[in-house]
Chain A
Amino acid sequence: MAERVAEVRTDAALQVLDLGLTPFAETLARQEELVRLRLLGAVPDTLILVEHPPVVTLGRAKRRANLMLDPEELRRRGVEFFEITRGGDVTYHAPGQLVGYPIFDLRQHGRDVLLFCRGMETALIAALSDFGISASAIPGKAGVWLGDRKVASLGISVRRWVTLHGFALNVSTDLSGFEIIRPCGEDPGVMTSMAAILGGPVFMPEVRRCVARRFAETFQIGEAAQLPGR
């Protein structure tokens, strides 16, 4: 799989990798491999787009108190659990949520990790505007918000200026799933989704397209043809 990725040498182009519905662990391995290749300069900046089966992940800031159920109980309910190395606290992913993992080399984007986060917010806000949703960023509260409701969360990890992990945009996520955590220490009720905002179904492939295009635009890199993920 990795070899196939390595063949694509489109410098200064954004490679978009659509993994469809893929379990968290498998995607994490894919990210690790891409980070390794990105560090070698063997692949261009890459954006993985994926949905995960239900999973709770705990960042290294590890506030277990924000986990309302213990890992055993989670597994009984069919929710996977992982402790991982990324910024931020506890997060919940499930189908209907578009998860994006940008594997970007920040040496080519101004070497500024905070500006990169602001850039991700800008791209997501622009993508939401494509659906007539006017969301915003709140200084000091990472993520994308509609008033006091959060529609997208973010948290990244950086190794030698290459990023991994990323954002989670609730498209049509079943929001009751968030009740098993306190997302980033917030009340679960703070989360909202595009479907909840628009009051109707949202076409996920269109969201994927808009997010990819807005990422390429925001970070000023041409978008390469989307690669099938597998």
Chain B
Amino acid sequence: MATRLDMPQLGLTMEKGTILQWLRAEGETVQKGQPVVLIQTEKVEYEVEAPAAGTLLKVIAKEGVELPVGGLMGILGQPGEDVSALLARAPSVAPSADSAPDRGAERGRRAPSPPAETISASGVVPAREPGERVKISPVAKKLAQEHDLDIAALTGTGPEGRIVREDVERAIATKSQEPRAESRVDREAFADSIPLAGIRKVIFDRMGQSWREAARVTLFADADMSELVTLRQGKLADWERRFGIKPSYSDLIHLAVARALRDEPRINCRLDGQAVRIRKEVNLAFAVDLGEGLVAAVIRDADKQSLGDLARAARDLADRARSGRLGPDEMADGTFTVTNLGTVGVEYFTPIINPPQAGILGVGKIMEKPVVLHGGIHVRSMMTLSLVFDHRLIDGAPAARFLAKVKELLEQPAWMG
């Protein structure tokens, strides 16, 4: 099986890398784990290892070429193997752009050409002379029309250069991978184009993975925050004097959630291969909005920290996240996430679990609402909690107990004082 060698993502914010040196030549064999190519991003040089044993079949990006993360650098496999499918999925044809147009045009006239060779020219250069009749199968033609492809620009690999269904499918695959901002229409229609790279790519992959894999269930509970509101108002001056910072409602919620996770450790778990691992530490992650993109900063051993410590840690992590200076360990190894959109007016929502964690708590806005209590209607400060958990890993009952615990800790907050 041939394997793509892609420009690796060596960090959350890495968007591109440069090929410094191929350590193997085309045709040379390499063992799994041996370095194949040396790349550089910023001031970091990195030896990319072979993901599998094999022969370096093709060097796509030459030394000195800059590629986006995920860009095709080369292909490993067995000699003689058909690698056209891998080439067709190349997200960018930039690496060989310097020489591709000439070779492409030449090949176009000499159809049929092997599929592996035609890719660098697809969509770049018309594959035949102007006015030359296009030979295409009816199925391929219909497919091309459905996808709004210019059949004159396609290269055929069927008999006498006839365009067959596979050619069109390959072109569709290539087209869908091309950076869309390059077309004139897109430049006019959109104010901006954010490439699927760096942090956007990480979010894209992880949210997608979570949505595809987790068996999500959401539990809702309305917490009566009235006592906590009163407690906070009464204590704020004292807290500020003692902690040097005014704890926010988010901080108080972090305190309650960390404590509830300690009391209901079953929620504090993750999928680890073939086992559900229940974590000893409570590492509380909380979402920080970066304007474009977001990160989950992690407060380690949150269950062992005082309110003041939690408040200071959250402030410090959020400030540094926004200035892009979060340390590598400060985003790693969270065991459960809290995300608070109440601060921007959201009443309730169902967040997406951040894998490999198994749960996330959405926090809504604190609002005064009419509530029936002891047979009378009262105005209370209410807040909706939404616990999203992965039912593959956690059963409904412990999840419900955990949510009830959080609600109880918030509704009877004397312990916080």
Chain B proximity of A142: nearest CB distance (Å): 4
- Assess whether B375 is interfacial by the CB under 8 Å rule: no
Chain B proximity of A100: nearest CB distance (Å): 14
Chain A proximity of B30: nearest CB distance (Å): 14
- Assess whether B173 is interfacial by the CB under 8 Å rule: no
Q: B45 touching A112 by the CB < 8 A rule? A: no
What 1/0 mask marks residues of chain B from 319 to 349 whose CB sits below 8 Å from any chain A CB? Answer: 0000011111101100000000000000000
Return chain A residues, CB-CB under 8 Å to B11: 112-116
What 1/0 mask marks residues of chain B from 2 to 32 whose CB sits below 8 Å from any chain A CB? Answer: 0000000011111000001100000000000
Chain B proximity of A10: nearest CB distance (Å): 18
Q: A122 touching B43 by the CB < 8 A rule? A: no
- Which of A23-31, A150-158, A194-202 is the contact stretch? A150-158
- Assess whether A209 is interfacial by the CB under 8 Å rule: no
Contact of B47 among A110, A111, A159 (CB under 8 A): A159
- Assess whether A59 is interfacial by the CB under 8 Å rule: yes
Chain A proximity of B315: nearest CB distance (Å): 17
Contact of A113 among B41, B331, B332 (CB under 8 A): B41
Give Cα A61–Cα B46 distance, bound, in whole angstroms. 12
Q: B12 touching A112 by the CB < 8 A rule? A: yes
Q: A110 touching B45 by the CB < 8 A rule? A: no
Q: A114 touching B20 by the CB < 8 A rule? A: no
- Assess whether A36 is interfacial by the CB under 8 Å rule: no
Name the residue on B nearest A217 (C-beta).
Answer: B327
**Contact (A122, B20) CB under 8 Å given A114-B14, A114-B42:** no
Q: Specify the main secondary structure of chain A where it touches its partner.
A: mixed
Return chain A residues, CB-CB under 8 Å to B44: 87, 113-114, 116-117, 155-158
- Assess whether A106 is interfacial by the CB under 8 Å rule: yes
Q: B325 touching A114 by the CB < 8 A rule? A: no
Chain B proximity of A140: nearest CB distance (Å): 8
Return chain B residues, CB-CB under 8 Å to A115: 11-13, 326-328
- Assess whether B78 is interfacial by the CB under 8 Å rule: no
- How many of A's residues come within 8 Å of B, CB to CB? 33
- Assess whether A119 is interfacial by the CB under 8 Å rule: yes
List which B298-335 residues lie within 8 A (CB) of chain A. 324-329, 331-332
Return chain B residues, CB-CB under 8 Å to A220: 327, 329
Name the residue on A nearest B12 (C-beta).
Answer: A112
List which A184-230 residues lie within 8 A (CB) of chain B. 218-220
Q: A156 touching B327 by the CB < 8 A rule? A: no
Chain B proximity of A113: nearest CB distance (Å): 4
Q: B21 touching A156 by the CB < 8 A rule? A: no
List which B34-77 residues lie within 8 A (CB) of chain A. 35, 38, 40-47, 49
Interface residues on B, range: 20 to 34
- Assess whether A44 is interfacial by the CB under 8 Å rule: no
Name the residue on A nearest B49 (C-beta).
Answer: A160
> Could you count the A-B residue pairs with CB atoms below 8 Å apart for me: how many are there?
97
- Assess whether A182 is interfacial by the CB under 8 Å rule: no
- Assess whether A93 is interfacial by the CB under 8 Å rule: no
Q: B329 touching A86 by the CB < 8 A rule? A: no
Contact of B45 among A59, A111, A118, A218 (CB under 8 A): A59
Chain B proximity of A220: nearest CB distance (Å): 5
List which A97-148 residues lie within 8 A (CB) of chain B. 106, 109-119, 122, 137, 139, 142
Chain B proximity of A105: nearest CB distance (Å): 12
Contact of B328 among A119, A154, A158 (CB under 8 A): A119
Give Cα A87–Cα B45 distance, bound, in whole angstroms. 4
Q: B20 touching A116 by the CB < 8 A rule? A: no
Q: B327 touching A218 by the CB < 8 A rule? A: yes
- Assess whether A64 is interfacial by the CB under 8 Å rule: no
Q: B47 touching A160 by the CB < 8 A rule? A: yes
**Contact (A60, B327) CB under 8 Å given A115-B11, A115-B12:** no
Name the residue on A nearest B46 (C-beta).
Answer: A158
Contact of A219 among B45, B46, B327 (CB under 8 A): B327
Q: B324 touching A118 by the CB < 8 A rule? A: yes
Return chain A residues, CB-CB under 8 Å to B42: 87, 114, 117, 142
Q: B38 touching A60 by the CB < 8 A rule? A: yes
Q: A156 touching B329 by the CB < 8 A rule? A: no
Give Cα A63–Cα B46 distance, bound, in whole angstroms. 18
Give Cα A113–Cα B17 distance, bound, in whole angstroms. 12
- Residue from B20, B21, B33, B35 having most chain A Cβ neighbours under 10 A: B20
Give Cα A115–Cα B46 distance, bound, in whole angstroms. 14
Chain A proximity of B103: nearest CB distance (Å): 29
Contact of B43 among A155, A159, A219 (CB under 8 A): A155
Name the residue on A nearest B333 (C-beta).
Answer: A110
Contact of B40 among A60, A112, A119, A219 (CB under 8 A): A60
Q: A142 touching B46 by the CB < 8 A rule? A: no
Give Cα A218–Cα B119 distance, bound, in whole angstroms. 47
List which B147-183 residues lie within 8 A (CB) of chain A. none
- Residue from A137, A158, A219 having most chain B Cβ neighbours under 10 A: A158
Name the residue on B nearest A157 (C-beta).
Answer: B45
Chain B proximity of A14: nearest CB distance (Å): 13
Give Cα A156–Cα B10 distance, bound, in whole angstroms. 13
- Assess whether A66 is interfacial by the CB under 8 Å rule: no
Could you pull out 16 A-B pairs where Cβ atoms are within 8 angstroms?
A60-B45, A61-B40, A85-B38, A87-B40, A87-B42, A87-B45, A112-B11, A113-B14, A114-B12, A114-B13, A122-B327, A137-B325, A142-B43, A158-B47, A160-B33, A220-B327
B residues sitting closer than 8 Å to A (CB atoms) are: 10-14, 20-21, 33, 35, 38, 40-47, 49, 324-329, 331-332
* Known pairs A86-B45, A114-B44 / 4 extra A-B pairs, C-beta < 8 Å: A122-B327, A154-B43, A157-B46, A220-B329
For the complex of A and B, list the 9 residue pairs with the smallest distance between their C-beta atoms, beginning with the closest. Answer: A110-B328, A114-B11, A87-B45, A112-B11, A115-B328, A142-B43, A113-B10, A110-B332, A87-B43
